[in-house]
Amino acid sequence: MIYLVLSIIFMICLAVVTRKATEAGCNAFCFNAIARYVSGTVMLVFTLSAVDWAGLWPALRAAGWPGIIGAFLFSVATIGATKSVQYGPLGISWTILRCSMVVSTLASLFIWREVPVGFNRHFILCLLGTIFTVGTVIIFGVAKILHNHSAKKLSLKWFLFAMMAFWGQGTWEILLRSTRSVEVTGFREVFITVVFLLSAFYCSPALKNIRKHNWKPELLWGGVFGICGIFASALRVWALKEINGTVVFPVTTVCVTVLVQLLSIFLFKERPEKLDLVAYGTSVCGLSCLVLM
């Protein structure tokens, strides 16, 4: 449980860092590329010092293809999210990305059968928890759209990048869940290292756009984002080893969504809307269902 709690905390930190980086005028792609390099380098040092060298090759063999695929999905989700916000309204783009949680939750439910499917208390509470969680995200998204009164029109480019973010994030979460059964020593350390390093490689072309005369904001916030990203992403691999995905994915989504909204009120002085209060209520209902399950 401690891994899940820490992962949620650092995901919230990622939201704050992203907000600060945007205010500082950072290039989104350069910012993400630097973050991936920082995450990959730190994880590489950690892995080489924590994993027995005799076990590195077996761990690398086990983590090879999952790491390659994971890095691709990780990058697809990031690029899709960034570009969908660029081409369309922030509120609905953000909502679609968060709703990708449904993909991984349903996979945990129907593929891995973490909860017995049928007319029983566990299955019903799991479905209700998922429905309330999705409802929370959608209500927050609608509230944000209405509050911002965005003039951006929804184009084909926006739709394609929004779907790219949705399926990239959703399948990345499924891949994380699939690592639960791997018992090779050092697998999780090597897996996350491969994902971060290959993600850095995939994002490298963006570095050509780094500002020549004012690169410090990208370097500063990209570095902070990279460090937070290690804990936000890596710890979820260990959390999923101990806790079912039907709990991890909805709980992570609703906690991050609600706490970031609350943080925006108290830290960034954003005024809550009436719909926000409704969303807080549905989040409590969703978490209550998952706890009772």
**One-letter identity of residue 28:** A
Residue 41, pLDDT score: 94
Residue 113, pLDDT score: 87
Percent of the chain with pLDDT over 90: 29
Q: Per-residue pLDDT averaged across 143-157, rounded?
A: 67
Q: What is the DSSP letter of 232?
A: I
Nearest alpha-carbon partner for 244 in 138, 121, 123:
123
pLDDT band, very low/low/confident/very high, at 148 (cuts 50, 70, 90): low
Q: Per-residue pLDDT averaged across 88-106, rounded?
A: 80
| pLDDT tens digits for range 155-182 | 788 889 889 999 999 999 999 999 988 9
Give the distance between the most distant pair of CA atoms in the chain. 63
Task: Determine how many CB atoms are found less than 10 A away from the CB of residue 30.
Answer: 21
The predicted model scores a pTM of: 0.86
Residue 44, pLDDT score: 94
Q: What is the DSSP letter of 52?
A: -
Q: Per-residue pLDDT averaged across 7-31, rounded?
A: 82
Asked if pLDDT for residue 62 goes beyond 60, the answer is: yes
**One-letter identity of residue 171:** T
| pLDDT tens digits for range 183-206 | 899 999 999 999 999 988 887 776
Most confidently modeled of 16-30, 221-235, 266-280? 221-235
Asked if pLDDT for residue 152 goes beyond 80, the answer is: no
Asked if pLDDT for residue 42 goes beyond 80, the answer is: yes
Asked if pLDDT for residue 77 goes beyond 80, the answer is: yes
Work out the angle at residue 29's Cα, subtended by the Cα atoms of residues 27 and 35, and round it to the nearest 5 degrees: 100
Residue 41 burial class via C-beta count within 10 angstroms: exposed 0-12, middle 13-18, buried 19 and up: middle
pLDDT band, very low/low/confident/very high, at 63 (cuts 50, 70, 90): very high
Name the least confident of 157-166, 208-217, 227-236, 252-261: 208-217
